[in-house]
Structure 1
Amino acid sequence: MSALRTIGALTAREMLKFVRDRSRVLGALAQPLALWLLLGLGFQNTFQPPQGSVGGSYGAFLLPGILALVLLFTAIFSTISIVEERTSGFLQAVLVAPTPRTALVFGTTLGGTLLATVQALLFLGALPLIDLSPGVAGVGMIVAVCLLTGLAFTALGFAIAWRMETTRGFHAVMNLFLLPLWFLSGAMFPVDGAAPVLQVVMWGNPVSYAVSGLRHGFHGFAGTPAALAGPGVCLAVTGAFAVLMTGLAVWQVRRPFFQT
């Protein structure tokens, strides 16, 4: 019960921090939205959609990747507070409290995951602009993938932030991990059109399956362009990635800060 109360309190705290810091909304939504509009309009007349796809504009092709980018940015903004709270003393207070350290992981990642999913789902309002209608099953697929991807990104950010001493170092390491994962996920270009060496990397990138799962959802499981695998495989790989990153965060928290 103590662990559950801690998880609930930390999740609510993440929500409260978000409400009080409106610049996080601007940072997490404005940049992906601007990127989607600029690239979507810029490549509108030059993009050749994959054969048999529904919703043949580049904006429709790019939108699943933009949702993944929103989840990525939200993970960065949610977990950077771990570095700041170490210097403020809040983290030390939580660690000496009579509750398991894993509650800190689950409370922080759950709050970040819910915030990331809500922000990503705001982009569903753009569906009429690109002539896509996913249906109830498609929306369910989108929500499931967003939750799992948000959990994976937030847990990875937590694991990285736990050992960081400065926010500058955190940003450098996060950009080193997360941005290449996004760029090589098939978000901006299909796997089939990439160089052979990049195709191997993209097939092994777990974020590629999250983007493909979002594509299945947006296209209502019909005429899905550039999907690496079927919906079930995409969900399974994304779920395994989320479990692996959560396990990494738990392992980091259980390690002592100083080892002899």
Structure 2
Amino acid sequence: MMIEEVQTHVAKVYAIWLREFKVFLREKSRLVASTFTPILWLFVIGSGIGSATTVSAAPSLDYQQFIFPGIVSMSIIFTSVFYGSYIIWDRKFDFLKSVMVAPVSRGAVFVGKTLGGMTNSLVQALILLAIGAAIGIPLTPLSVVQAVAVIMLMSFGLTSLGLALGSYMYSLEGFQMIVSFVVFPLFFLSGALFPLDNLPAWLSVLTAIDPATYGVSAMRGTMLGVGSANPALDFAILTAYTGALGLFGIYSFKRMKAV
């Protein structure tokens, strides 16, 4: 009986994930637009600032290579958190109401939607990894697998955060305003664009409480061999953040009103 219940829950989560993934596949313009911005940052910012900057923390790398893991993280942060806007669209078109009255737990709805957002972020990150290989990022099969694990953790946690914020909002304008105060600090404080060595004390504290910091550090360590002296600790802290954000998302969904 317990196995049947688990299979039923998995089937419900899969159905919601499949719906989210099909929506993603139909909106090819969204994929192009959300991938273009990180590529622009990588080549314009990476080449422009890199022409006048050396990375003291990694002298063997040019600036474009150094920020590559941060640009992948940028794609994950923006795509995952802004994914919460789809809750508002679902509410406007009454799809959310139909899901909420179905015999599906809100926890299953949340997990299915979060996995959908995670898949979207993963597809975009894989495109960037392919571009990274083309510009000389020293990727190996092992480093790709490790990077994908970090990407999945980051995207699940940040998609949970985006959906949690979306569950409290009723207008896209309000959501975009609130989320702007979330995604930019997450990105700029993560060390995506600069080394975290020798920062002022107040800035070090802010970077230390940013979950994206540990994702950037772990990816930089797996891809480039630089970054934190303890990648396993980065991964553990990122896992803890992901679990906490997932629980926050489930709690928010249970309190959410469908209309």
Same fold (TM over 0.5): yes
Q: Deviations over 1:191-227 (max 9, x none)?
A: 12533311221122221010001101212xx3x1xx2
Using the TM superposition, give the Cα deviation of residue 96 of structure 1 relative to its aligned residue in structure 2, in angstroms.
0.8
The TM-score, its normalising length taken from structure 1, stands at 0.91
Moved over 6 A (4+): none
Look up the equivalent residue of 1:190 and give its one-letter code: P
Aligned twin of 1:232: 232
2:19 matches 1:13: yes
Q: Which amino acid aligns with 1:215?
A: R
Secondary structure (helix, strand or coil) at the match of 1:43 reads helix
Q: Which runs of 5+ in 2 are unaligned?
A: 1-6
Asked if residue 194 in structure 1 is aligned to residue 199 in structure 2, the reply is yes
The question of 1:48 aligning with 2:54 is answered yes
CA displacement at 1:256 relative to structure 2: 5.6
Unpaired runs of 5+ residues, structure 1, are: none
What residue is the counterpart of 1:138 in the other structure?
A: 143
Query: Is 1:169 the counterpart of 2:174 in the alignment?
Result: yes
Q: Does 1:33 align with 2:39?
A: yes
Distance 2:256 2:152 in 1: 30
Match of 1:215 in 2: 220
* Structure 1 residues 92 and 52, CA gap change in structure 2 (3 angstroms): closer
State how far apart, in whole Å, the 1-side matches of 2:66 and 2:13 are.
37
Distance 2:30 2:116 in 1: 14
Checking the alignment, whether the CA contact within 8 Å between 2:80 and 2:159 is kept in structure 1 is yes
Maintained 8 Å contact 1:208/1:228: no
Matched, 1:121 2:147: no
- In the alignment, is the contact (CA less than 8 A) between 2:133 and 2:139 conserved in 1? no
Question: 2:95 & 2:119 partners in 1: Cα distance?
Answer: 22
**Distance change in 2, residues 1:99/1:169 (3 Å):** same
SS in 1 for 2:197: helix
> How many corresponding residue pairs?
252
Tell me how large the CA RMSD over aligned residues is. Answer: 1.8
Quote how far apart the aligned CAs of 1:79 are.
2.3
| Contact 1:59 1:130 (C-alpha < 8 Å) held by counterparts | no
Alpha-carbon contact 2:221-2:228 (below 8 Å) kept: no
Write the distance in 2 (CA, Å) between the matches of 1:128 and 1:214. 14
Partner of 2:3: none
Match of 1:244, as an amino acid? Answer: A
* Deviation (angstroms), 1:129: 4.8
Q: Name the % identity.
A: 29
